[in-house]
Amino acid sequence: MPVTETAPAKLNLALHVTGRRADGYHLLDSLVAFAGVGDVVRLEPGPLSLQVEGPFADGLSGQDNLCLRAARLVGAKAAIRLTKNLPVASGIGGGSADAAAVLRGLARMGHPLPADAERLGADVPVCLLSTPARMQGVGEVVTALPALPAIPLVLVNPGVAVSTPQVFAAMVRRDNPPLPDIPRFAGLTDLASWLGLTRNDLEPAALSIAPVIGQVLDGLRATGAAFARMSGSGATCFGLYDSSDRARIAANVLKQHGWWAVATELAPPPAPR
C-alpha cells in the first residue's frame, strides 16, 4: 500500500555559529521551525527507484539523490516519487527534508529509523522531527520545543544559488555567543521581540556573495513584515506577518520581482495521507 509523507520547509528562525571543530565542521545553535508548505514523498513497495516531478524537479533524478541514499541507509527497497515544490539548495531544508520524509515513510513500512541519520546531512535529524526544535552541535543534538503559534509568514527565494561551503568560508567570525534561553511564545509580538535578540551568523557572508538577498529582505519589510531574516545559508528569506491576508498580499507583490514567493504559516506538517 502506498505511503505518503510531507517534507515541510525547514526554517532557521535564528542561527548562531558558536565554534568550529578540528575536523572543520561548524558548531551551531539554532531555533528551527517548519512551514506549512513543502515537498511530498510517496513510497510504494518495489525495486528501489526515484521519480521526481513538480515545479523544481529539474536535475534531481540522479542516483546520488538524498532520497535514494536514505533508502539505502536502512536497506530498503521502494519506488519513490518526489514532488519537488520547494527551490533546490535554498536554505530551507530541501534534500534533507526529503530524505527525512523517506525515512519516516519507510519506518511506516517496517524499516526502523536509523540511529545515524546525520550521515545523510546535518539537517536530517531535525527534519526527521519536523516540529520546533533547538538544533546544536553539528546538527546531531536536537531538543524538541513546544509548538509555535501558527504565525502567517512569507517565504521568498530570488532564484540565486548560494553555496553553503562558500558562505561558511566567507564568515569573519566563527566563535559567536549561543542563543539566549528560548521561552514559550504566545504570538507574533513576543516571537519577533526574541528574534530581535538573535542572529543568523551566515547572513552577512551570504549577502556579500549574493547582494540580492538584501533586496529580498527589504522587500519583506516594505510589505509589512514584523520580522524578516534569511534562513540557513540562503538564499531563501522569511517574513513574519500579523495576518494571513497581509502575508498573501505581500507574496503577490514580491512575485512581481520574478522571485519565488509563497504565503504560508508556522505550522506542523499536514498529517500523512
Q: Which residues are catalytic?
A: 10, 123
The residue written with cell numbers 528569506 in the block is: 237
Supply the Cα-derived Rg of the chain in whole angstroms: 18
The rounded distance, in Å, linking the Cα atoms of 14 and 176 is 13
Cell numbers found for residue 13: 528562525
259: left (phi over 0), alpha (psi -120 to 50) or beta: beta
131 Cβ neighbours under 8 A, 6+ residues apart: 34, 144, 145, 147, 268
Angle CA(198)–CA(99)–CA(149) in degrees, nearest 5?
40
Q: Could you tell me how many residues make up the chain?
A: 273
Q: Which amino acid is at 99?
A: A
130: left (phi over 0), alpha (psi -120 to 50) or beta: left
The residue written with cell numbers 531538543 in the block is: 143
